[in-house]
Amino acid sequence: MREKINRLAEGNYEYEQSRVIVTPEVLDWNHVTKQVYQTSLVISNEKRHLMKGIVTTHAPEITIDPVNFRGVDSTIVVSVDMERVKPGENFESVLQIISDCGNEKVSLCIPKESVKAEASGHQIEDLSQFVSLVQKDIEAGVKLFDTPAFRDGLLAKDAQKQAIYDGLRASAGRKNALDNFLVSIGKKKPVTIAVEQVYRQYDACREAFQDEISITKNTWGYEEFQICSDASFLRIENEHITTEEFVGDRFVCKYEIDPEQMVMGKNYARIEIKNTRQTIKISVVAVKPGVQHEKAQKNRREQRTLCQMLKRHLAFCMNRLPLQDYLQEMDQLLQGSGLEKNSTRLQLYRIHLAIMEHQADVVTKGLNSLEEQAEELRKEHPERYAGFCYLKGIWTDDESVKEECIRQIRDCYEETGQDAQVLWCLLYLDPELQSEKKKFTTILEQLTDGCYSPIFYLEICQILNDTPKYLTELSEVIVQALHWGCKNHFIEKETALRYVYLAGRLRQYSAGVLEDMTLLYDRYPEDEILTVICKMLMRGQITTKDAFVWYERGVNHNLKITELYE
Chain segment 64-105, per-residue pLDDT in tens: 888 898 888 888 888 888 877 766 677 888 888 888 888 888
- Whether 6 and 105 map to the same domain: the answer is yes
Is residue 423 domain-resident? no
For residue 92, what are the β-bridge partners? Answer: 109
- Which of 67, 86, 110 corresponds to the end of one domain? 110
Q: What CATH number does residue 19 fall under? A: 2.60.40.10
Query: Which distant-in-sequence residues (6+ apart) come within 8 Å of 216 by Cβ?
Result: 193, 194, 195, 249, 250, 251
Under 8 Å between Cβ of 240 and 269: no
- Whether 77 and 127 map to the same domain: the answer is no
- Whether 142 and 31 map to the same domain: the answer is no
- Whether 127 and 227 map to the same domain: the answer is no
- Whether 145 and 258 map to the same domain: the answer is no
pLDDT tens-digit map of 163-190: 888 888 877 688 888 888 898 888 899 9
Band the pLDDT of 3: cuts 50, 70, 90.
Answer: low
Can you tell me whether residue 104 is helix, strand or coil? strand
Is residue 466 domain-resident? yes
Band the pLDDT of 13: cuts 50, 70, 90.
Answer: low
- Whether 124 and 106 map to the same domain: the answer is no
Is residue 330 domain-resident? no
Is residue 152 domain-resident? yes
| Phi-psi group of 267: left, alpha or beta (phi > 0 → left; psi -120 to 50 → alpha; rest → beta) | beta
Q: What CATH number does residue 205 fall under? A: 2.60.40.3170
- Angstrom distance (rounded) from CA 296 to CA 312: 25
- Whether 125 and 202 map to the same domain: the answer is no
- Whether 15 and 69 map to the same domain: the answer is yes
Q: What is the domain count for the chain?
A: 4
- Give the DSSP letter of residue 26: S
Is residue 276 domain-resident? yes
Q: Which residue has the higher pLDDT, 118 or 167?
A: 167
- Whether 150 and 172 map to the same domain: the answer is yes
pLDDT at 61 over 60: yes
What is the end-to-end Cα distance of the chain in Å, rounded?
77
Is residue 283 domain-resident? yes
Residue 496: burial class (beta carbons within 10 Å; 0-12, 13-18, 19+) = buried
pLDDT at 15 over 60: no
Alpha helices in 416-558 (DSSP H): 420-427, 436-448, 454-466, 476-487, 493-504, 511-523, 527-539, 545-556
- Which of 258, 288, 318 corresponds to the end of one domain? 288
Is residue 329 domain-resident? no
pLDDT tens-digit map of 389-429: 988 888 988 889 889 998 988 888 888 888 888 888 888 88
Residue 145: burial class (beta carbons within 10 Å; 0-12, 13-18, 19+) = buried
- Whether 178 and 278 map to the same domain: the answer is no
Whether pTM exceeds 0.95:
no
- Which of 166, 185, 204 corresponds to the end of one domain? 185
Is residue 86 domain-resident? yes
- Whether 131 and 205 map to the same domain: the answer is no
- Whether 498 and 526 map to the same domain: the answer is yes
Range of the structural domain that residue 282 is part of: 193-288
Under 8 Å between Cβ of 531 and 561: yes
